[in-house]
Structure 1
Amino acid sequence: MTPKHLNRRQALALTAGAAATVALPALAQDKFPSRPITLIAPWPAGGSSDAVMRAFAESASRTLGVSVVIDNKPGAGGTLGATAMVNAKGDGYLLTQLPLGIYRLPHMQPMAFDPVKDITHIACLTGYTFGIACTADAPFKTLKEMVAYAKANPGKLEYGHTGTGTTPHLAIEEFSEKAGIQLNPIAYKGSAEIMQAILGGHIRVMSGTTEFAPHVQSGKLRLLATLGSKRNKAFPDVPTVKESGWDTITESPFGIGGPKNMDPAVVKVLHDAFKATLDDPKVQATLDRFYMPSVYMSTADYTAYAARTYAAEKATIERLGLAKKS
């Protein structure tokens, strides 16, 4: 009740003030972001992927005005970030890196998520560089010479990769099929193991990401080809597999995603903030350190890429006989 000694103007001012006080919390809730954002890095802390994700998070934090906190969830082929978001609220406060495996592994084994229906693809930012490297004393110096050697010695040339169904494995299997050669694949648990094996002379060839780079630069290994659509700027004299004569391109773009049913306005805020990270010199220096190119895709383009890639991975997995049994 309004006190009797207040005049009409004072009473109206009090009423307006009370209404404004009630409205302030609602307005604060509408502003995004208003609290820290969690960004899942589905790899162990300390590796190249973790370092790149931390660079993106730090840069985006400055644009968004809130902390973007990295949460490492390693294991399951990099799919635990997507798994964690299946039942999460799509309010923009839980995000994850989206590695290529999230489009492949659901075709190989039961997974908790559908990478097309259950994920909002916000922005693609970068990608891994894959290559085929050999020991410095291998009896071949080019990819064409390696193919000739493999044809003369079917099944005897071993190559290491980082696990059945991973991109380095499937890339070489596809290349081998097109080149008409039979190689002997050996799976290792990760980059550290595969490097120990090739540097120790236990295998002559490896397929992997740029963990080989310092050893190529020191002369201990020879890079025969990279697997992208264009040459890597760190190795301008090394041809791609396609340039070498086989129509095989393997690229692994990745970016940031959130749960399904996100507010488009929130998606735009996040997209713009993470796109801006690609202009940050600190981010570019981190990408260069790990030989990762900028691979930007807008929300619409990234969403379309996800659908295409999911279908393409299904075809590849079925062709190689790795599809899960229904």
Structure 2
Amino acid sequence: MTHAPPFRRRTLLLAGSLLAFGAAMPGFATEPWPSKPITLVVPFSAGGPTDTQMRAMAVAVGKALGQPVLVVNQPGAGGTLAPAQMARNAAADGYTLVLITPAVFRLPHLQKVGYDALNDFSYVAGLTSYVYAMSVPTDSRFKSLADVIAYAGANPGKLNVAAVGNGTLGHIATHQLQKQAGVQLNYVPFKGGADAVTALLGGHVDVMLEAGWGAMANGGKLRLLAVAEEQRLPKWSQVPTFKESGYDIVVRSTVGIAGPRNLPAPVLSRLEETLRKAAQDPAYAKALDNESMPNRFEDSKAYRQYALTQFAADKRNVRELGLAME
């Protein structure tokens, strides 16, 4: 009878032990992903435009993966509470994801936060963008951005500009316009986009420099004067960009999906490809179109690069404009 050399016997025993350990642990290293429902945390209240979009996306992703995607609403801290809690508490297994808004990159430069924007997340994919624009009621005397600037120049501090909150992208864009045009504007912050739109339509402010205008513009209640984009919007091709109007103001406001840090590469890759396909879902596309939001899918690499770029840009803007939370 031939016996295996001692070294080989030890190797075989070790291999056998590992196989036995794997057999004793159901699904160990071999369990297919996903094998249970996935949770998508949306950092806004239920019923709003973004929530509606993400619910449509969740249905499409769930169908593609063969597991339901459950949407959980967790508003708070300007859209950063949900990402912060996910980063701290969720396992890096792909079963808990969160919607990331640009506030995640800006808030760390304004106050202490409970997350590291660049290291606590696995950036899976960018989906769309909030489109910032200057809008007025359709019966406004202002027919163009030039009209607004002319009035502001002749009436220092009397033009009321609405946007959401202090230190936000709308606030930053208003400061940039004021600085570049050499005028004095009266910035009026609101708690949310709906409040800002209501004030605009009610004549309590003169213009709004903010996202969230889509439904009202589609309904003919608001008129756009300029969009803070690199190029004109296909659906609103008659509206010039701020750049075309002489002001270097472009707001990048990408919204995307992330998981906790160190998501396994196969899980991240499958999520990325599933989101790419789900972005073409008709119900999701319609939800975007209702708010005039573009379908701008970005893969994981591009979305992470956006995070790095936006974090640096927000740091620079906050410092240069002297913004601070009140």
Q: TM-score, normalised by structure 2?
A: 0.88
**Residue 215 of structure 1: how far off its partner (Å):** 3.9
**Are the equivalent residues in 1 in contact too, given 2:216–2:222 (CA < 8 A)?**
yes
**Are the equivalent residues in 1 in contact too, given 2:215–2:290 (CA < 8 A)?**
no
Please name the residue that 1:288 is paired with: 289
**Are the equivalent residues in 2 in contact too, given 1:28–1:34 (CA < 8 A)?**
no
Please name the residue that 2:250 is paired with: 249
CA distance in 2, matches of 1:170, 1:34: 44
Please name the residue that 2:121 is paired with: 119
Q: Where does 1:67-216 land on structure 2 (aligned, <5 Å)?
A: 67-87=68-88, 88-210=90-212, 212-216=213-217
In structure 2, the CA distance between the partners of 1:68 and 1:214, relative to structure 1 (3 Å rule), is closer
CA distance in 2, matches of 1:324, 1:225: 27
**Are the equivalent residues in 1 in contact too, given 2:214–2:290 (CA < 8 A)?**
no
Please name the residue that 2:222 is paired with: 221
3-state SS of paired residue (1:187): strand
In structure 2, the CA distance between the partners of 1:218 and 1:294, relative to structure 1 (3 Å rule), is closer
Q: How many residues get paired? A: 308
Q: TM-score, normalised by structure 1?
A: 0.88
Please name the residue that 1:55 is paired with: 56
CA distance in 2, matches of 1:155, 1:64: 54
Q: 1:203-226: CA deviations, max 9, x gaps?
A: 11112223x344445554321111
**Residue 130 of structure 1: how far off its partner (Å):** 1.4
In structure 2, the CA distance between the partners of 1:197 and 1:47, relative to structure 1 (3 Å rule), is same
**Residue 54 of structure 1: how far off its partner (Å):** 0.6
Please name the residue that 1:30 is paired with: 31
In structure 2, the CA distance between the partners of 1:298 and 1:183, relative to structure 1 (3 Å rule), is same
CA distance in 2, matches of 1:103, 1:250: 13
Percent identity, aligned pairs only? Answer: 39
Please name the residue that 1:231 is paired with: 232
**Are the equivalent residues in 2 in contact too, given 1:242–1:248 (CA < 8 A)?**
yes
- 1:304 equivalent in alignment to 2:301: no
Please name the residue that 1:6 is paired with: none
Matched letter for residue 31 of structure 2: D
CA distance in 1, matches of 2:140, 2:47: 32
**Residue 200 of structure 1: how far off its partner (Å):** 1.4
CA distance in 2, matches of 1:283, 1:215: 19
In structure 2, the CA distance between the partners of 1:318 and 1:268, relative to structure 1 (3 Å rule), is same
CA distance in 1, matches of 2:134, 2:287: 23
Q: 1:242-284: CA deviations, max 9, x gaps?
A: 1111111112111100111111111111111111111222221
Moved more, 233-242 or 64-73: 233-242
Q: 1:63-85: CA deviations, max 9, x gaps?
A: 11111110100111111221112
CA distance in 1, matches of 2:205, 2:70: 40
Matched letter for residue 199 of structure 1: L
**Residue 189 of structure 1: how far off its partner (Å):** 1.4
Q: 1:22-72: CA deviations, max 9, x gaps?
A: 379336853111111111100000000100111111110011111111010
CA RMSD, 1 decimal:
2.3
CA distance in 2, matches of 1:240, 1:275: 28
**Residue 314 of structure 1: how far off its partner (Å):** 0.5
CA distance in 2, matches of 1:171, 1:286: 26
**Are the equivalent residues in 2 in contact too, given 1:229–1:251 (CA < 8 A)?**
no
In structure 2, the CA distance between the partners of 1:22 and 1:104, relative to structure 1 (3 Å rule), is same
In structure 2, the CA distance between the partners of 1:284 and 1:214, relative to structure 1 (3 Å rule), is closer
In structure 2, the CA distance between the partners of 1:324 and 1:156, relative to structure 1 (3 Å rule), is closer
**Residue 140 of structure 1: how far off its partner (Å):** 2.7
CA distance in 2, matches of 1:324, 1:89: 32
Matched letter for residue 315 of structure 1: R
3-state SS of paired residue (1:234): helix
Gaps in structure 1 of 5+ consecutive residues = 1-17
Gaps in structure 2 of 5+ consecutive residues = 1-18
Matched letter for residue 288 of structure 1: D
**Are the equivalent residues in 2 in contact too, given 1:107–1:324 (CA < 8 A)?**
no
Moved more, 309-318 or 79-88: 79-88
CA distance in 1, matches of 2:180, 2:171: 15
**Residue 232 of structure 1: how far off its partner (Å):** 2.1
Q: 1:72-131: CA deviations, max 9, x gaps?
A: 001111112211122221111111011000000011011000110111101111111111
